[in-house]
Structure 1
């Protein structure tokens, strides 16, 4: 029975309340949880660190370029350095006193057409997105097994539904999921391993792609950052370990179709690409020159 209209203040849902509703009351208490976040000074990492800190977790981050206003302590670390990663992880675990949750969030993107030979850009994306997560996880396995902890891999919808002209990113994220699957088989008796699949979120990760004339505008729908944070925390804090988590209903539908009706999603993406080419969206973009030429040659 209603006792009267709710005010805007009482109707407002806080991020914490939204997460509690999302988890359906099945959330582990984050207070005192020891968390390591990679890419902690980036868009996702800062949001995750702030939310976890607000919930009472003890968070330490790793990032190539820590910022003075980061919401948690962030240690400088180059995830492509085989020697630096174990040292930085050891320093982080010493500060935390152990580890309950590892969030492999660090990632980078950029133009990398599949028809061109893999160059420095493709190697950079594979080294950070796949091998960086592998290096960090390997350095954390002992601590995670000891605490019966969890690993959350921030993958991408492109691990399942590839977009054109970004082969390295999709390949790195698909490989990250394969690595998570192998890790789950090896340590899943003691450690929960989950993958989260964001779509596109507005962040600097897209800057190099846009600068190359390959903007995602028209190829992908953007989603709110808060939904990605909610999904990662659901994977990390939910009482039940989730193997795979989409970040939106649309994303879940796209992943389902890509897995079970790949020919259909191929046609949809190809049609969308053709429309982008016809609109002139890729004019002057050198990485897309082959695509533009072949579409121009079609009858």
Structure 2
């Protein structure tokens, strides 16, 4: 981003959730190197981040209230940018009744974002700041066998829309849509035999961080930011040609199911059976 289209990052006060994870840690390090003041929130700070990280459970109201107050105090009582990055994934087929795993993802990805943002509203309004929602390509292009993650991220975008209507006179709200980045967030899905390898391609972490920085510091508030050229195409197709995106996903799922990709996955037994019956 050119100097003409980006605010000066130096001295900006930034709060990042999920700050000890793959994206949060890299983003925080980038911003610190650029001269920003950064504080993170994370359930399990590692202690070796390049910026202070406050322990916070985003599923707990009291924890969020206390952690955000601590973080803003560390930033000198001001907050220019909130990056809602905390999130989890996991196996959750849509055909099965909601499990504890489903509730966990909704509580962290959606309600955790809501709790933290609400706790930051006064500080953001005072600074005429920005909120950046790190959503997912799955907010617009749902993949099978991961219904909770897609539902939580799509709901996160709806929350961002409502926030934009309510705070838009004073606070900019931007959604960023990464695809998949190699990180531990995919471990539980892979362990359940539901890896989306072959349905989703990994993208460079650096590009995701670039997109978040662009969303946070562009001189003009951006509404939606994709992270790759391929992601921009997928975003356009999902938004404007949903029947086409449905066909692409369905054909890919059928091919993988018939090839045995999910044979060891108990949670995918229904998908496998139905596709084998069609063979």
TM-score normalized with structure 2 length: 0.98
**Which residue of structure 2 aligns with residue 221 of structure 1?**
201
- Bigger Rg, which one: 1
- CA shift, 1:123, in A, is 0.4
SS of the equivalent of 1:83 reads helix
**Which residue of structure 2 aligns with residue 33 of structure 1?**
12
Aligned-partner Cα distance in 2 for 1:107–1:25: 33
- 1:279 is aligned, of 231, 237, 259, to 259
- CA shift, 1:238, in A, is 0.9
Gaps spanning 5+ residues in structure 2: where? none
* Residues 201 and 223 in structure 1, CA contact (< 8 A), matched pair in contact too: yes
- 2:222 is aligned, of 242, 246, 250, to 242
- CA shift, 1:23, in A, is 4.2
* Total equivalences in the alignment: 278
**Which residue of structure 1 aligns with residue 168 of structure 2?**
188
Determine if the alignment matches structure 1 residue 264 to structure 2 residue 252: no
* Residues 155 and 198 in structure 1, CA contact (< 8 A), matched pair in contact too: yes
SS of the equivalent of 2:61 reads coil
Q: CA RMSD in A?
A: 0.8
- CA shift, 1:25, in A, is 3.5
Moved over 6 A (4+): none
Aligned-partner Cα distance in 1 for 2:97–2:55: 32
- 1:122 is aligned, of 77, 102, 121, to 102
* Residues 23 and 234 in structure 1, CA contact (< 8 A), matched pair in contact too: no
Gaps spanning 5+ residues in structure 1: where? 1-21
**Which residue of structure 1 aligns with residue 57 of structure 2?**
78
Determine if the alignment matches structure 1 residue 52 to structure 2 residue 31: yes
Aligned-partner Cα distance in 2 for 1:174–1:160: 7
1:174-233 Cα offsets, whole Å, 9 max, x none, are 000000000000000000000000001111000000000011210111100000000000
